[in-house]
Amino acid sequence: MMKKIFITGGTGFIGCRLAEVLCERQFEVVALVRQWSRAVRLARLPIQMVHGDILNKESLCKAMKGCDVVFHCAVDNRVEGDLHRQTSAQGTDNVMQVAKELGVNRVVHLSSTAVFSYQAKPDTSTEEGKPNLSGDAYCDGKIESEKIALRYFLDQGLPVTVLRPTIVYGPFGDYSVSTIDLIRKGRMVLVNGGWGTCNVLYVDNLVEAMLLAAEKDEAVGKIFHISDESPVTWKAFIEEHAHALGSTYLPLKEQTVEEIEQMRQYIKSQVPSSFKQICNIISDRKTLKALRSIPLVRRMESLTRSVARIILPMSIRGALRRRMTPKAKPKSSHGATLAIPSPLSPPEVNMVTAFEQVRFSIEKAKNVLGYEPKIDFVEGMRRTKAWIQWARL
């Protein structure tokens, strides 16, 4: 039976929602807080907040002391690349070591189906699938952290359970915020039509799975995939978010991965040389007017013209004149300057196509944990849309 609960990553999307649910159920909660500026939402709750860092064992010992259950939700997003992998692994090792030293009864380690990479194949649908190092810092960091957590169970008998959530969404969720941001900027497209599988997981369903994992003795030493009962398409997931902003953002354009890459390469090829950039700056009407208001610049311009007439052929002078002549920027029918949205970046493509080839099974979680996701996609998006409108995203 859980009594006093410790949460790493309590200021994050999942950790904070877990803290809210635990408070509603009258549990005593301690949350590790690395940055007080990120603890605004958490500070509403009647919990103990302790300043610390998963990379600082002393702060972990202070915060975790007296707790019988640990939920390790923290991810160190301060750094990227190999350093991100290293800090994720070191932080997990610290959490497990301190939990072992303090005699914690249960540790629930939050991993991710990203251990299979964002291009996961159908044979990874169950927990028997083999994690795949992909070179992505987040994905590979989850693999290493998961191995460390299970090693503490195998070698030292620490009661650890590993959960692998899928695409977690809901109020305050990173996926929802990022999706809305891309839609509002006009950059969101349905990659390959958006018909790939989106393994959605409403945050409250995940929280219920986490609580079950902390209480079930049968869960110790095991890994569980956690998702909603039924996946949807990426098209449905993205368009439902667009509906929250209004019909003016629909329909969304469709592009293949190849078309996105071609557009990215085309824009890259259009990056002007230093000379062209200088010409573009000077040919701006406001900039040119401001420069000509400076007496020294006017004298230099007059001198340059005189020298050019003497030493440059007429054809070159004409080309330069055309290049330097201010041009009006194209405008829309409403008078606004037109701007071509930049294409999705490779990480953004991964974000809106993640795991599209696989449908993750939750049969093991059902059979062992008694997990039954109660909130379906319709209800989950109803709540998410209400929050999007309330937060004025």
Domains and CATH numbers, the chain: 4-173+199-229+358-377 (3.40.50.720), 258-324 (no CATH)
Note whether 362 and 371 are within 8 A (CB).
Answer: yes
Q: What pLDDT is attached to residue 278?
A: 66
Which tokens in the block code for residue 82? 């190999």
366/109 Cα distance (integer angstroms): 18
202/204 Cα distance (integer angstroms): 6
Q: With H, G, I as helix, E, B as strand and everything else as coil, classify residue 212.
A: helix
As to burial, measured by CB atoms within 10 angstroms (0-12 exposed, 13-18 middle, 19+ buried), residue 107 is buried
180/23 Cα distance (integer angstroms): 30
75/61 Cα distance (integer angstroms): 19
Q: What pLDDT is attached to residue 338?
A: 47
Q: What pLDDT is attached to residue 341?
A: 80
268/381 Cα distance (integer angstroms): 37
CA 44 to mean position of chain CA atoms: 25
364/361 Cα distance (integer angstroms): 8
Note whether 180 and 245 are within 8 A (CB).
Answer: yes
As to burial, measured by CB atoms within 10 angstroms (0-12 exposed, 13-18 middle, 19+ buried), residue 388 is buried
Taking 70 as the pLDDT cut, the residues of the chain under it are 1, 78-79, 271-284, 288, 307-308, 312, 314-340
94/173 Cα distance (integer angstroms): 27
Question: Peptide bond before 251: cis, by omega within 30 degrees of 0?
Answer: yes
248/243 Cα distance (integer angstroms): 9
Where do we find the tokens 């393994």?
199
Which tokens in the block code for residue 4? 């006093």
pTM, 2 dp: 0.83
Q: What pLDDT is attached to residue 321?
A: 66
